[in-house]
Amino acid sequence: RTMVVSLIGRPNVGKSSIFNRLMRKAHKAITHDKPGVTRDRHYGIATFEELAHTRSVETILVDTGGFYPTKIEENVPKKYDQVMNKFFNIMTEQARIAIKESDLILFVVDSREGVLPFDQAIADYIRTQRKEFWVLVNKYDTDKQEGEELEFYQLGIGEEQLFKISAEHGLGLLDLKQAIHKKV
C-alpha cells in the first residue's frame, strides 16, 4: 500500500510550509474536513517529480494542525504514567490519529528555539506508538545557524534521522525528498 507520511509538531514550527513545499509539484492536493474524524488533517499526494526519472513513487502526506488543549481524559490508556497522561490530554486527537496511521513521521522542530519540553514529550509519545520518526530542524535559514541542530540529538536520534531545512528558503528539501523517495 502507499506509504503514509505525516507532519507532526508544535504550532508554528513550519509544518504547513513544509507540506506545501513537498506538495509543490504534485498538483493533486486534497482536503478532508469530515467533522470529528479527519478534522484538521490535510492530505496530499506527493509524487517527487524531480526524482521520478529514477523511480516513480507516491506517498500520502498528512499535515496536522498541531497540538493544543483537548478534553479527552477518558481515552487515556492506563499504561501511561502521570506525566504522559498530562501530555496525552493536551495532544489533539487528530494528531494522535495521524501518528497512528503513519508509516513515517516527520517531526518538525524550530532550530532557533531549540528543544522545548513539549518537543521532548512529543518524541516520547511517538516512541510509545513505536513509529519511525525523523526530526526536521526547520527555520535553518542560513549557515550562520550552524550548530543549532546539535541539541536536537537529545531527542535520542541518529544522524540519519536529522534533517536541517528551511521551508521558507527552500533549503535542505531535496535531501529530505531523496530520503523519503528512497524509503518508499
Q: Which residues bind ligand GDP (CB under 6 A)?
A: 9, 11-17, 66, 138-139, 141, 166-168
According to DSSP, residue 172 is labeled S
**In angstroms, rounded to a whole number, what is the distance separating the alpha carbons of residues 47 and 25?**
7
Which of residues 7, 14, 16, 97 is near Mg ion by CB under 5 A?
Answer: 16
SS (HEC) of 57-105: CCEEEEEECCCCCCCCHHHCCCCCCHHHHHHHHHCCHHHHHHHHHCCEE
Nearer to ligand GDP, 93 or 168 (CB): 168
Query: For residues 21 and 167, is the Cβ–Cβ distance under 8 A?
Result: yes
Q: Which stretch binds Mg ion (CB under 5 A): 16-24, 28-36, 73-81, 139-147?
A: 16-24
Nearer to ligand GDP, 59 or 110 (CB): 110
> Per the annotation, does 36 bind a ligand?
no
For residue 8, the minimal CB distance to ligand GDP (Å) is 10
**Secondary structure (DSSP) of 127-142:** HHTT--EEEEEE---S
The alpha carbon of 41 is separated from its chain's Cα centroid by a whole number of angstroms, namely 12
> Per the annotation, does 55 bind a ligand?
no
* Residue ranges of the binding site: 9-16, 63-67, 138-141
Site residues for Mg ion per CB under 5 A: 15-16
* Residue ranges of the binding site for GTP: 9-16, 63-67, 138-141
